[in-house]
Structure 1
Amino acid sequence: MSTTQSERLRELLEPLVTSEGLDLEEIAVDSVGRKRVLRVVVDSDTGADLDAIADVSRALSAKLDETDAMGDQAYDLEVGTPGAERLLTEPRHYRRAVDRLVKFQLADGEELVARILGVDDEGLDLEVPGVKGRKAKERRLAFPEIAKARVQVEFNRKDKKDMKEEEEA
């Protein structure tokens, strides 16, 4: 897909996504056999439930039908949310990942796995897990120090409610 088409699609669709209270995170056009698939990824600070995704999907479909942004060739529209192990690229992505475990590749080549405790305009406050029974440490990371960051899936993590119940028992 050319940059021009991508920019046109973003300009066309972003106001509709925003009007539904969501952020347009990604647009991709892929060829699948003879058909094309337009994938639109949306999200918000509170997440996007199925009703919100259905509403924005209908709005996008109607807008695309009334324009020639996708040309005359058939295509499928897929609207969804970012995956569980999403790449964090914008400050809002980090805000949405507070309390989540994240794997960081730092600009100096260091690799770090830590839990995001807080986010502000300059960077992140992290909790770095202790090694071999040592206590966890807090660390500050500025956004320019981060080359790449991805949320990690945790299967055995207890949420705050579970930890409170254990403390009270």
Structure 2
Amino acid sequence: MAPDVQTVTALAAPIVGETGLDLDDVAVSRKPGDGVSAITVVVDGDDGVGLDQLTDLTRALTARFDEEPWAQDYALDVTSRGVDRPLTTERHWRRNRGRKVEVTGENGEKFTGRIGSLVDDRVRLVVNQKGRLSVREVGLADVASAVVVVEFGEPSPAELRLADED
């Protein structure tokens, strides 16, 4: 018997919650050939997620999953969100304040901005177009997709100041 996403989520949510982290995603897939289920549990926290937290959480989840009928048939991966995962909830936007994000609007428009304050389901984005800074407010419901952009240089102080304004 293989576990499904709903079962794993129901088992993992209280354990993750006890750590003060958020359960961000659960995926379950079947590995071809050996019949083992690959379970991925993705977590997130206001202050990020440390390796010790992931290790402790993996142990706690393993202990709980080992009580299930499918205990001999799974491989578990517990991981943090990472910057490549899309921003899909208000807390993702809040936790990435000050970072640059690539946004695709519901209308298909694409632009890049630095995440500022979040108020009433609207986010302030500082847009830098060839050195000209502007602030754009976008409703989260109007965002089709958004992903953090990895930066190798330092952002301009002016851009950061605008992103920090409330």
Cα pair 1:91 1:121 within 8 Å, conserved: no
Aligned counterparts of 2:82 and 2:50: Cα–Cα separation in 1: 14
| Percent of aligned pairs with the same amino acid | 34
Residue 86 (structure 1) shift: 1.9
Cα pair 2:102 2:147 within 8 Å, conserved: yes
User: TM-score with structure 1 length normalisation?
Assistant: 0.84
Of residues 146, 151, 166 in structure 1, which corresponds to 2:148? 151
Is 1:142 aligned to 2:139, yes or no?
Answer: yes
Aligned counterparts of 2:25 and 2:121: Cα–Cα separation in 1: 24
RMSD value, Cα:
2.1
Counterparts of 1:10-159 in structure 2, within 5 Å, are 10-33=9-32, 34=34, 35-68=36-69, 71=70, 73-131=72-130, 133=131, 135-158=132-155
Question: Letter of the aligned partner of 1:154 in structure 2?
Answer: E
State the Cα deviation string for residues 36-90 of structure 1 (Å, max 9, x = none).
Answer: 321111111111101111111111011101123xx25522111111122221001
Cα pair 2:123 2:140 within 8 Å, conserved: yes
Aligned counterparts of 1:85 and 1:37: Cα–Cα separation in 2: 20
Gaps of 5+ in 2: 161-166
Which range moved further: 12-21 or 23-32? 23-32
Indicate the SS of the match to 1:136.
Answer: strand
Runs of 4+ in 1 over 6 A off after TM superposition: none
Measured at CA, do residues 159 and 51 of structure 1 come closer, stay the same or move farther in structure 2, by a change above 3 Å? farther
Gaps of 5+ in 1: 164-169
Residue 30 (structure 1) shift: 2.5
Residue 145 (structure 1) shift: 1.1
Indicate the SS of the match to 2:114.
Answer: strand
Question: Letter of the aligned partner of 2:124 in structure 1?
Answer: D
State the Cα deviation string for residues 134-158 of structure 1 (Å, max 9, x = none).
Answer: x210110011111111111111235
Aligned counterparts of 1:82 and 1:159: Cα–Cα separation in 2: 26
State the Cα deviation string for residues 104-149 of structure 1 (Å, max 9, x = none).
Answer: 1101111111000111232101100122x4x210110011111111
Match of residue 163 from structure 2: none
